[in-house]
Amino acid sequence: MNQRNFATINGQQQIAEEESLRRTWWELYVVDGIMAGFWRKSEFNIHSFASDVLLPCEEATYMDAACLPKPPTVARFDNRLFEDDEMLFSSFCYRIEAARILARVLALSGARDVHQDQVQAIDNAIAGWAHHLPPAKADIIDTFGEVDEILFQAHMIIQYASLFLHFPRSNLLSTLAATANIAGGQRDIHVSPSSTQHTHAIKAMEASKPVWGIIFGIPQYYRM
């Protein structure tokens, strides 16, 4: 399923079926990443598989199934900022990118001799994720009051990644009770200097604020 031609071979020449198979692979990827973080693993199994599966389209387009667009590659998505022609990518693509960033964070949790530059590079990727969202994806709620649930999940994953990056490297671990029971609550193998711990604490707390802002910013019937 991690190969691009899997959907073509097993899709019975139905583009909707092929799209469904691609979405299944990427859904497994995202969920596996979230659960790896919850269970405090340094990696998730699906991320270790080499994959060239094409990216999914928008939810509404998939549900309509009348005319599905040609699916983009991951490479095309990664190079979107350098393309001359602007291509609109689905919310699912940004959700996948958030999960890929989470994978980088989890990899650091089990690594030794982690350099501050590695942490900073991932921190930059987290900040860049939101900064590079196109205007059409700037808000999870559209003008009709409808919530883009996939984009909502993407925002939650990226804040999840930020918390996992900064919380273990902060001084919050020594001030909060029962940190052993908190996902991402294990202290980093190499303890950071006090000044750096304080910076990580600030960033960890900043990462937690948008989570509540996102949750309470959506209509109540989506939270029931």
Residue 177 has pLDDT above 90, yes or no: no
User: Which is higher by pLDDT, 162 or 25?
Assistant: 25
Place of tokens 């001084």: 171
pLDDT tens per residue, range 45-97: 888 888 999 999 999 899 887 678 899 999 999 999 898 788 899 999 999 99
What band does 178 get if pLDDT is binned at 50, 70 and 90? very low
Residue 219 and residue 35: Cα distance in Å, rounded? 27
Give me the residue spans of the domains in the chain: 4-222
**Which element (helix H / strand E) includes 161?**
helix 149-166
Which residue type sits at 175? T
Residue 224 above 50 pLDDT? no
Question: DSSP labels for 166-217?
Answer: HGGGSGGGGTSTTGGGSTT-SPPSSPPPHHHHHHHHHHHHHHHHHHHHHHHH
pTM for this one? 0.82
